[in-house]
A and B are shown apart, each in its own frame.
Chain A
Amino acid sequence: MLLEEKTSQEQAFEPLIVAFCCNWCSYAGADLAGTSRLQYPANVKIIKVPCSCRVNPNFVLRAFQKGADGVVIAGCHPGDCHYSTGNYFTRRRFTLLMNMLDFIGIEKERFTVDWISAAEGSKFAAVMNGVLEKVHKLGPNRKMRDKRWKR
């Protein structure tokens, strides 16, 4: 493949990232990123959940199935959960899911769990930029994608 062709293909790939953010820390962190006018690509779309522990692994799988190229779960830092212990459940549950994704052939890098506090607007932008960079390198997610579902 010609180099030029390859780059044009890469440019054409616009990844879709679904981010589940907890209401108390990460969603507020995303708000702060906005208020501070920090830039991150428009590919990231945020879904608000009360706590990161509300995210069912099924939601992550559904996103991959419907064509998301990357999924992020962001919650309060361990120990800072608004509901005391919610993010500990998140951590345990998604360590397992990460292994399962790896097992079924979805690159681990497509799935990120991170802790972003309400004061960390810049971290929010940095995490999203990092995720996009990784997903850009991996290219489109084809493994779990439902072919009937056209984006």
Chain B
Amino acid sequence: MQRIGVFVCWCGSNIAGTVDVAQVAQSAAAMPGVVYAKDYQYMCSEVGQNMIKQAIAEHGLTRVVVASCSPRMHESTFRKTAAAAGLNPYLVEVANIREHCAWIHKDKAEGTKKAIALTRAAVAKATLNAPLVAGESGVEKRALVIGGGIAGLQTALDIADAGYAVDIVEKSPSIGGKMAQIDKTFPTLDCSACILTPKMVDAATHENITLYTYSEVESVSGFVGNFEVAIRQKARSVDAKKCSGCGLCAEKCPSRKAKSEFDEGLRTRGAIYIPFPQAIPNVPVIDRDECTYFKTGKCGLCSKICPASAVSFEQADEVITQRYGAIVVATGFDMIELDKFGEYQYGQHPDVITSLEFERLTNAAGPTGGKFVRPSDHKKPKKVVFVQCVGSRDTSGRGKPYCSKICCMYTAKHAMLIRDKYPDVEASVFYIDVRTPGKNFDEFQRRAVEEYGVQYIKGMVGKIFPEQDKLMVHGVDALSGETVVIDADLVVLASATKAKDDAEALGRMLSISTDTHDFFTEAHPKLRPVESHTAGIFLAGACQGPKDIPETVSQAGAAAAKAIGLLSKKKLVTNPCVTTVNEALCSGCLACEKICPYGAIAAKTIELTNNGVKETRVVAAVNEALCQGCGGCTVACRAGAIDLKGFTNRQIMAEVDAICF
């Protein structure tokens, strides 16, 4: 018979408010095998933990049940407590009477009844718990960072500085990401390129960092400490080793139809191109969909004029397989498409642009060379209207219900920059609310209004009508209740941010979850903000939710610290809850082998003596290093020969029985 101790936590008033904890402890004391039951304010506190340790020693407890918060929260705490008292940590069970009981039921009598039932189930399960010993696995001392924007670069630099090898996989031909496209950054008005390019160079020249640009992650397998990743390096059609980066090919390419992704389509580029002057690597890439040679077999001009003979039309995609100990996802964000927002005339009228296009328009290296002119007739606009929350905080289904977080600040920045350079230009901003919670943010926005005279109008724009060379912006001033009409020359839309279109697919590949808007979900919103639910995979930057640059950089540092912590471990403790085969029952049908997603089960021949006759038989054998403990095979087994440690058939049945008591 087991000697079970039950510890009921009040969690202050969190549990004690709706559950009669004393009664739970009293009922628990009468449950089979329970020799000690106690309730206490905070079981997770040092005093509470000492109480458990003491009881283990004093009462010779062989099993511990803690009725408290979710095991996802404190199971590991109580396991450590038990281990410190000399009890195998897997002999601890947690009954979740907070999240699954106290917090969802208002009626105290009902809540208490349910808490007792949950505790009874945990006691029943604990009775059958077996001591488990965790195995060990090694850690590959190399990290993978997916995404080469500011988040990825910062993460990679921090990990590399700690002495570990890092590979950056970037989808586009150059690292830099969205930050490279931005002209100035709020609230300091630093030149974005000036603070980013040194980081890009640092990453490119760091001895521990390898860049895979124009590359994508193709498949991921393995587990924490031992991921195996296949990276597809797309054919650049230019030999990076030979290319000197002179740019002659890009200059002479006769095809000029493709729109420059970097300049947000505001100018065209050649079929062979370097995305932007500071691109790293400074090696052109041929866009095979646009290239005349690839389309018709004629041309080949770039190949002829290249002084280094670096152009290689035959180059093929290359798949590189590499092992990693940790993976950081830093894939960033995109802006939403505005095709559902017909009222703003975006796409219909060239002078209605998005904020990111505006960044390029005002950038000295941008399509206009920094001259402030509007796209349609290259005249300087006199009145500029900014519309905030285009698709943000939108519950109509056209946009996104969340706040994109960065728009209030960059719109204030845009308006301020215009008024600073061209005091004769009028700038108006339509807004729902101005949200400026950041260091020096509110001061910045106030400066835009007070010092630079930017006109802020609280209200949304109903419709924009093009009239001759003007854009008539019809809006409502919600404060006065009057309609406002502005004859604008340029309209800038602060479109909402969204997760990358392929975020969900990447999430599936990595088995990390995404929220309803396809942003990656962190393991805990407050306490584990840079970890994913999957061990060894971390998150940095706007792929986890809308973020500005300082937040992204600090999250990148945090993700790097987590990755470094993992890589610095000599050994990792593996999950001991793996399957075992009862060879006496196994018929060797290997139905289990077929369904195992990890290839952890294989046939094994055993020798046995049957009535004095030696014979051999085939049975299933589990590779504990590969088994992840899903338990799918246990159900497939016809003979019931496979069982999952920690979640055995008998344990779950006992829980069912205890709940139905």
Contacts and interface: CB of A to CB of B under 8 A. Distances in A.
Interface of A: 16, 18, 23-25, 27-28, 30-31, 33-35, 37-42, 45-51, 53-59, 62-63, 66-68, 76, 79-86, 89, 93, 117-119, 125, 149, 151
10 cross-chain pairs, A with B, having the tightest CB-CB distances, nearest first: A34-B99, A54-B631, A66-B660, A83-B630, A53-B632, A51-B630, A34-B103, A31-B99, A42-B110, A42-B114
B308 to A, nearest CB: 46
Interface string B479-518: 0000000000000000000000000000110010101100
B103 A47 contact: no
Contacts of A35: 99, 103
Given A39-B106, A45-B121, A85-B597, A54 B634 contact: yes
B473 interface: no
B303 to A, nearest CB: 44
Nearest to B111: A42
A47 B659 contact: yes
Given A24-B533, A50-B647, A56 B635 contact: yes
Contact of B656 (A30, A33, A63): A63
A93 B591 CA distance: 14
A62 B657 contact: yes
Contacts of A149: 660
Interface in B624-661: 628-632, 634-636, 644, 647, 649, 652-653, 655-657, 659-661
Interface residues of B, number: 51
A31 B516 CA distance: 17
Contact of B630 (A50, A62, A63): A50
22 contacts: A24-B513, A27-B72, A40-B104, A42-B105, A42-B110, A45-B659, A47-B656, A49-B631, A49-B647, A50-B630, A54-B635, A56-B634, A68-B660, A79-B508, A80-B508, A84-B511, A85-B632, A86-B630, A93-B635, A119-B516, A119-B521, A151-B660
Of A47, A81, A151, most B-chain CB atoms within 10 Å: A47
Given A18-B659, A34-B100, 6 more contacts: A31-B99, A38-B104, A39-B106, A47-B121, A49-B631, A63-B656
A53 B660 contact: no
A34 B630 contact: no
Interface string B105-135: 1110011011001100100000000000000
B628 A83 contact: yes
Contacts of B657: 62, 66
A54 B647 contact: yes
B511 A82 contact: yes
A58 B638 CA distance: 12
A76 B595 CA distance: 18
Contact of A18 (B72, B595, B656): B656
A37 to B, nearest CB: 6
B544 interface: no
Interface of B: 70-72, 96, 98-101, 103-107, 110-111, 113-114, 117-118, 121, 507-508, 511, 513, 515-516, 521, 533-534, 577, 595, 597, 628-632, 634-636, 644, 647, 649, 652-653, 655-657, 659-661
A69 B634 CA distance: 26
A37 B450 CA distance: 44
Contacts of A93: 635
Contacts of B98: 34
B653 A62 contact: yes
Given A50-B577, A53-B631, A45 B661 contact: no
Contacts of B107: 42
A137 B247 CA distance: 75
Nearest to A89: B632
B101 A42 contact: yes
B70 A56 contact: no
B105 A63 contact: no
A118 B522 CA distance: 10
A118 B521 contact: yes
B104 A117 contact: no
Nearest to A36: B103
A51 B104 CA distance: 24
A31 B72 contact: yes
Contacts of B659: 16, 18, 45, 47, 63, 68
A84 B508 CA distance: 8
Contacts of B111: 42
Of B70, B99, B508, B657, most A-chain CB atoms within 10 Å: B99
B597 A83 contact: yes
A86 B521 CA distance: 21
Contacts of B595: 85, 89
Contacts of A86: 597, 630, 632
B631 A45 contact: no
Of B103, B516, B636, most A-chain CB atoms within 10 Å: B103
Of B107, B121, B511, B652, most A-chain CB atoms within 10 Å: B652
Contacts of B649: 56, 58
A54 B632 contact: yes
Nearest to A120: B516
Contacts of B655: 47
Contact of B635 (A31, A55, A79, A85): A55
Given A54-B644, A82-B511, A66 B634 contact: no
Of A45, A67, A149, most B-chain CB atoms within 10 Å: A45
Contacts of B628: 83
Contacts of A27: 70, 72
Contacts of A125: 104
Contacts of B661: 151
Of B111, B118, B507, B533, most A-chain CB atoms within 10 Å: B533
Nearest to B651: A47
A16 B660 contact: yes
A119 B515 contact: yes
A138 B113 CA distance: 24
A107 B385 CA distance: 62
